[in-house]
Structure formats: structure tokens, C-alpha cells
Amino acid sequence: MEMSSSFKSYLALLRLVDDASRELGLSHLTSSDKQVLLAMTEFAGAGNVAKSFTYAKYNVVVRPEHAVSRAQFFKSIDRLLNARVVKKQGAGRSATFLVKAS
């Protein structure tokens, strides 16, 4: 049975994403971490500043099928901070996050 061209394209895209993830040192991020990062980036917009990005605001941005639990949200925030993908400014859980642009 021959693979469809769409499936071949999908596999090629997965390889590219996997390679880029390893190159950036982000291969350890979980699917949940990536969902939180994508939502934060969407919330931040062009300025890459997610001001007062809270779990409640995350739930407004993310599609329901990609939502994570509150506990997982904060674990993912910690992983993103440790990976230096985002930087936290201010104190508390409603701090401002700067999404690394480069």
C-alpha cells in the first residue's frame, strides 16, 4: 500500500519540527508545554509580551481540546522558564512573561 502525498508531507514536517526542537534544546518539552507556549505566544501578540498571563486567560486563548489542568499549566510555565523560552517579570502567578523571540 502506497503512502499518500499528504501523509508523506506530514512525516517530513514532523522530522523538521523534531530537528528544530533538538537544535534549540527544546526536545524535552512535553505536548502540554508546547500548548501553553503556543497559547502564551498568541496572547502576547506581535510584541512578545504576555502581560498578566494567567490560567484563566490561557483558557480563553486555547482551544478546549488543547486545554491542560491548572497544575499542568504551572508545571509547563516552570519548564518554559527553565528552558529560557520565556522570561518572567514581576512576582506572583499573574506576572508578565516575555516570549523569547530569537
Domains, in order of start, for the chain: 29-99 (1.10.10.10)
Residue 49's pLDDT band, with cuts at 50, 70 and 90, is very high
CA 11 to each of CA 4, 6, 14, 15, 27: distance values in angstroms, whole numbers, following the listed order: 11, 9, 5, 6, 17
pLDDT value, residue 100: 84
Share of residues in the chain with pLDDT > 70 (%)? 95
Average pLDDT, the chain: 90
Residue 10's pLDDT band, with cuts at 50, 70 and 90, is very high
Highest mean pLDDT among 1-10, 30-39, 46-55: 30-39
pLDDT value, residue 2: 78
